[in-house]
Homo-oligomer: A and B are copies of this chain.
């Protein structure tokens, strides 16, 4: 059985793992959350590349045959460095998100030329402009909107209890209005952060309230799809197969286990602590 390594600075990448398990159940998965050194967002490109490469090499040492960079910041700033440093195929989250947006544009009545993509992401990701460069190269018009409050709202779990959910809906309304102000004709919404799939139902509600229908592209699901398509070995569908899951974190095992289960949509049986240095 082949091993797929999945790397993120935290546990957001578990939304990618959730989709991977669904599409490719006959694999062994080793997930590393570099929680001791997060957030990557405030660090320089050199530092992020150094952290990401040491994390990626750890996953190669654990037997990874393919590596998924389930982290927008690491993909945006260091995927070329990671690819150069590793002997195995590496797939990031930006290209699959762009590809999914392009597919949506082609399938829409507007077509590629009339499609405008709004990208919701963290400040670090929007500052890197990785999505606008990638979308522009694909011929798509785009507007990036930084949404720094969404990760803390998801990590706090303010998604269900009425008063908390009302706050999250209001924050989404403010961000979406600000984003749509710059792009009034936008028809595609790209979720450019691995935390955001948990917000998808609330984003759908908000778009309905704003009477602004958009096609939502989930970069986590798009990345899993891209991995399934690029897999250098055949997928063997086995009824009822439970893939082998191994989790490593560089700090905060307890928080990783507690919050991670809502990202993965199943309990994290065991999380091991690993020290990758300063």
Majority DSSP secondary structure for residues of A touching B: helix
**Across the interface, which residues of B come within 8 angstroms of A43, CB to CB?**
36, 251
Task: Tell me if A136 counts as interface (CB < 8 A to partner B).
Answer: no
Q: Which residue of B lies closest to A147 (CB)?
A: B156
Task: Tell me if A170 counts as interface (CB < 8 A to partner B).
Answer: yes
Q: Which residue of B lies closest to A123 (CB)?
A: B255
Restricting to A144-165, which residues have a CB under 8 Å from any CB of B? 148-149, 152-153, 155-156, 158, 163-164
The count of chain A contact residues (Cβ–Cβ below 8 Å) is: 29
With A149-B153, A152-B148 as known contacts, state yes or no: A44 contacts B171, CB within 8 Å. no
Restricting to A32-51, which residues have a CB under 8 Å from any CB of B? 35-36, 38-39, 42-44, 47
> Contact string, A153-186, partner B, CB cutoff 8 A, digits 1/0?
1011010000110110011011001000000000
Partner of A156, one of B39, B149, B278: B149
Q: Which residue of B lies closest to A177 (CB)?
A: B163
CA distance A173 to B47 in the complex (A): 39
Restricting to A165-214, which residues have a CB under 8 Å from any CB of B? 166-167, 170-171, 173-174, 177
Distance (whole angstroms) from the CB of A200 to the closest CB of chain B = 20
**Across the interface, which residues of B come within 8 angstroms of A148, CB to CB?**
152, 155-156
CA distance A164 to B177 in the complex (A): 12
Task: Tell me if A252 counts as interface (CB < 8 A to partner B).
Answer: yes
CA distance A34 to B170 in the complex (A): 33
Binding site for B on A (CB under 8 A): 35-36, 38-39, 42-44, 47, 148-149, 152-153, 155-156, 158, 163-164, 166-167, 170-171, 173-174, 177, 251-252, 255, 277-278
Enumerate the 8 nearest inter-chain pairs by beta-carbon distance, A residue then B residue, closest first. Answer: A278-B278, A152-B152, A167-B170, A163-B174, A42-B252, A149-B152, A148-B156, A167-B171
